[in-house]
């Protein structure tokens, strides 16, 4: 910056000696102001300052406005830097962040050791360790855990054990280098993007929604993830199935097209059943007060720096909207006013989030829903909207306290005047079915925020929607913001699990017949009433999900406003242990309280994809050196270039040793898969120092009784089986895995496990 420092137009400076002196003093002051900032930010701000100095001095001969602008922006960036207890240069690259993560985890470890030596309780040690993450603004979150109360425990003892378990999970994270590295990487990335927002690098006409650098990094990460997924496979060691992870991801809602389709199906289902039940719809748009916006758009379409901007980043703005939303929902719940629908979060051109919401409610609740949202979302900064608390006080007084409906004597002109004034912050449109469907109102926003399908122009960004959609998804990824949220209705996870279930035998036969005849299979369409009369609840829900009828699925789950606890279907989980030794849960299937259906099979492992040609050339098996089989037997083999010969030789070996398999299984083994036979043996090819060996080992059958706590024959839920290890044993293992191995740590653990 110092060698090629920008200068104002010489014709402006050379006007007079006073003008020269003004620039000399201002430039020196400005250089000192930006000197405390990172080099790239300093250069960007200084360049913009020079342009503003030139503009204001040429217009009025005064540089005060330019100086105020620079000081404000320097203050905002300095405030953003203040979230880090170390100099920002220590986070500049991955190597520095990795070193810092090691240092921070070691500091937490030292605090833990010191606490143990001082005889502190586990929670006291945790609280002391948490002071370090708090300096960084990091929250040490732990997942929901399955911790059963033991028969010998009192309630107080159980609650104390739960508190200690949570504390140990938090401690395990704070002494983990990986945990710190992830936190630092995300924090630094968001800091950089925040600074670009402040510096004007994120706005219409420059780079809407996401800076060019952040967009490039997002695309690079996305491409790298796709390449990594393409090289990984999921193998089922029980069934022999194999699928690349990329194919699995593309078949899930991570696929933008599938995600968009599912959202539209659910939204349309809400609309259909709402119409059947006489509900009305409303479309709401809410945004944050002006001080959360870095840039504003003028009537000419150009963008200007917002003098009111308080330096908030998109994550902070999203948190503000979420907090207001929670209060408004709580208010409606107290009034016993249910709503259903969807919320879509999308960015303004300068990355500030705002919401679009489409809800259905009873006709008599329309005005109270409108008022509650208008009241809560405009409580901050009402003066800029030219309304006051008095205006909302009058609006509130118009409602009957018992029915929550507007009084016939209300002056609607005053209410509509208030509604018009707050429209820049809160806007409401009642859905008129004669003018268009409710789903049509929100379809544009769903598509625009996923892949831009059927949306030609993105007016907010000023570009093609299918191009800007990538910036929107990158923005959501960068700031960790949830784009879509269903409000009310049955859980979509149940819907997705139902779609994983197999068809009934008759349907499968009809589908096979249609396929054999080269025809498209047409499902028989039946109403919910017909299905309910002849099918059990779980089958009605499965048929609804399989046919893509969200409205029928809602009815099968008990109706629009059925509480979760009263719905006939719910998810079931399997207890499992994570790397921190915590007993968490893994989704396994569905239950109707009397019957349980397992939708997710065990036995899946993740591994690297193997080249079939490479495996075939390296894993050939000779007909020589056959040996008798024991519980673990090896057969040394020779290299052959033919995959078919490898397959045939494996087949012959196994037939000769009374470990008969079919040719398809032999082919899978030749490709390098580990196969589990019906009698519980595992067979695989292993590359060793003495060559390729065909191995067979006896395996303890883990699936004879299903997974712990379930009866496979009746599939009826029982009490989850107790884990083999105690919670203290598991947490001890977790701490040993992630902590620095020192005598002091062992001393701390010993003291606690003995009941310190």
Torsion of CA 133, 318, 382, 412, to 10 degrees: -140
Counts of helices then strands in the chain (DSSP H, E): 28, 20
Q: Calculate the CA 538 to chain-centre distance.
A: 29
Integer CA distances (angstroms), 566 to 492, 598, 729, in order: 16, 21, 38
Phi, psi for 154 (deg, rounded to 5): -80, 170
- Three-state SS for 193-239 is HHHHHHCCCCCCCCCCCCCHHHHHHHHHHHHHHHHHHHCEEEEECCC
| CB neighbourhood size of 230 (10 A) | 14
Largest interatomic CA distance in the chain: 103
Smallest CA-to-CA distance from 321 within 227, 426, 466 is with: 426
Ordered DSSP codes for 694-719: EEEEE---S-TT-STTB-TTT--B-P
Integer CA distances (angstroms), 699 to 460, 558, 668, 676, in order: 61, 45, 19, 8
- DSSP-assigned beta bridge partners for residue 286: 355, 426
Please state, in angstroms and rounded to a whole number, the distance separating the CA atoms of residues 240 and 605. 11
H or E segment and range at residue 321: helix 314-334
Instruction: Read off the tokens for 703.
Output: 């699936």
Please state, in angstroms and rounded to a whole number, the distance separating the CA atoms of residues 323 and 440. 28
Smallest CA-to-CA distance from 256 within 473, 463, 529, 44 is with: 473
Integer CA distances (angstroms), 703 to 379, 700, 713, in order: 58, 9, 12
Smallest CA-to-CA distance from 265 within 560, 554, 549 is with: 549
Report angle CA 447, 450, 451 to the nearest 5 degrees: 80
681-688 and 691-698 beta bridge pairing: antiparallel
Instruction: Read off the tokens for 222.
Output: 């996305």
Please state, in angstroms and rounded to a whole number, the distance separating the CA atoms of residues 426 and 381. 13
Ordered DSSP codes for 296-317: EE-TTS-EEE-TT-----HHHH
Report angle CA 511, 500, 585 to the nearest 5 degrees: 165
Phi-psi sector, 303: left (phi>0), alpha (psi -120 to 50), beta: beta
Contact 351, 209 (CB under 8 A): yes
- DSSP-assigned beta bridge partners for residue 426: 286
Per-position b or e across 9-47, b if 16+ CB within 10 A of its CB: eeebbeeeeebeebbeebbeebeebbeebbeebbbbbbe
Contact 241, 258 (CB under 8 A): no
Phi, psi for 48 (deg, rounded to 5): -65, -35
Q: What are the residues whose beta carbons fall under 8 Å from the beta carbon of 672, sequence distance 6 or more? A: 610, 615, 619, 684, 685
Q: Which residues are catalytic?
A: 441, 445
């Amino acid at each position: 910056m110092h060698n090629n420092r920008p200068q104002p137009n010489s014709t402006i400076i050379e006007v007079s000696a006073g003008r020269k002196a003004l620039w000399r003093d201002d430039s020196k002051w400005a250089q000192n102001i930006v000197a405390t900032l990172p080099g790239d930010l300093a250069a960007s701000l200084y360049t913009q300052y020079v342009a503003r100095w030139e503009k204001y001095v040429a217009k009025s001969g005064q540089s005060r406005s330019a100086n105020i602008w620079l000081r404000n922006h320097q203050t905002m960036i300095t405030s953003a830097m203040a979230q880090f207890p170390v100099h920002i240069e220590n986070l500049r690259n991955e190597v520095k962040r990795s070193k810092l993560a090691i240092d921070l985890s070691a500091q937490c470890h030292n605090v833990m050791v010191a606490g143990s030596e001082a005889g502190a309780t586990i929670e006291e040690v945790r609280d002391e360790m948490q002071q370090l993450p708090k300096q960084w603004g990091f929250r040490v979150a732990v997942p929901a855990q399955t911790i059963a109360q033991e028969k010998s425990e009192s309630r107080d003892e159980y609650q104390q054990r739960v508190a200690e378990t949570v504390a140990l999970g938090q401690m395990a994270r704070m002494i983990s280098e990986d945990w710190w590295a992830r936190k630092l990487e995300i924090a630094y990335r968001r800091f950089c993007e925040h600074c670009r927002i402040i510096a004007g690098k994120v706005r219409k006409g420059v780079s809407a929604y996401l800076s060019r650098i952040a967009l490039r990094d997002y695309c690079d990460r996305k491409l790298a993830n796709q390449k990594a997924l393409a090289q990984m496979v999921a193998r089922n060691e029980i069934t022999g199935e194999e699928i690349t992870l990329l194919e699995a991801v593309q078949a899930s809602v991570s696929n933008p097209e599938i995600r968009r389709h599912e959202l539209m199906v659910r939204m349309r289902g809400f609309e259909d059943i709402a119409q059947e039940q006489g509900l009305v719809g409303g479309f709401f748009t809410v945004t944050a007060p002006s001080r959360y916006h870095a840039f504003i758009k003028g009537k000419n379409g150009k963008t200007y720096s917002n003098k009111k901007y308080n330096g908030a980043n998109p994550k902070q703005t999203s948190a503000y909207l979420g907090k207001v939303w929670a209060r408004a929902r709580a208010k409606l719940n107290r009034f016993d006013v249910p709503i259903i629908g969807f919320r879509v979060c999308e960015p303004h051109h300068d990355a500030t989030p705002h919401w679009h919401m489409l809800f259905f409610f009873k006709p008599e609740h329309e005005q109270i829903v409108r008022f509650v949202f208008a009241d809560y979302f405009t409580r901050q900064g009402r003066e800029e909207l030219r309304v006051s608390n008095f205006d909302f006080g009058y609006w509130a007084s118009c409602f009957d306290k018992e029915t929550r409906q507007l009084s016939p004597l209300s002056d609607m002109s005053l209410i509509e005047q208030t509604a018009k004034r707050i429209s820049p912050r809160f806007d409401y449109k009642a859905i008129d079915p004669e003018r268009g469907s409710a789903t049509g109102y929100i379809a544009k926003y769903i598509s625009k925020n996923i892949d831009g399908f059927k949306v030609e122009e993105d007016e907010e960004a000023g570009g093609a929607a299918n191009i800007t959609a990538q910036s929107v998804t990158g923005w959501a990824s960068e700031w960790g913001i949830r784009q879509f949220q269903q409000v009310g209705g049955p859980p979509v996870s149940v819907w997705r699990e139902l779609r994983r279930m197999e068809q009934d035998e008759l349907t499968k036969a009809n589908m096979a017949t249609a396929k054999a005849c080269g025809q498209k299979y047409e499902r028989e369409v039946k109403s919910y009433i017909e299905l309910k009369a002849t099918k059990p609840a779980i089958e009605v829900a499965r048929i609804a999900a399989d046919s893509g009828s969200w409205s029928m699925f809602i009815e099968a789950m008990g109706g629009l406003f059925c509480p979760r606890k009263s719905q006939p279907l719910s998810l079931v989980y399997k207890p499992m242990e994570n790397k921190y030794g915590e007993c968490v849960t893994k989704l396994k299937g569905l239950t109707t309280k009397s019957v349980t259906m397992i939708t997710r099979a065990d036995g899946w492992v993740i591994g690297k994809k193997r080249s079939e040609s490479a495996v075939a050339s390296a894993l050939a098996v000779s007909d020589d050196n056959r040996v008798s089989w024991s519980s673990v037997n090896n057969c040394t083999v020779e290299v052959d270039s033919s995959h078919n010969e490898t397959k045939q030789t494996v087949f012959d070996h196994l037939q000769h040793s009374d470990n008969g398999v079919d040719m398809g299984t032999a082919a899978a083994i030749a490709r390098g898969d580990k196969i589990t036979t019906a009698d519980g043996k595992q067979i695989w090819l292993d590359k060793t120092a003495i060559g390729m060996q065909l191995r067979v080992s006896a395996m303890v059958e883990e699936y004879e009784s299903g997974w712990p706590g379930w009866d496979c024959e009746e599939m009826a839920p029982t009490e989850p089986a107790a884990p083999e290890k105690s919670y203290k044993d598991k947490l001890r293992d977790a701490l040993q895995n992630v902590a620095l191995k020192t005598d002091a740590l062992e001393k701390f653990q010993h003291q606690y496990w003995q009941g310190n």
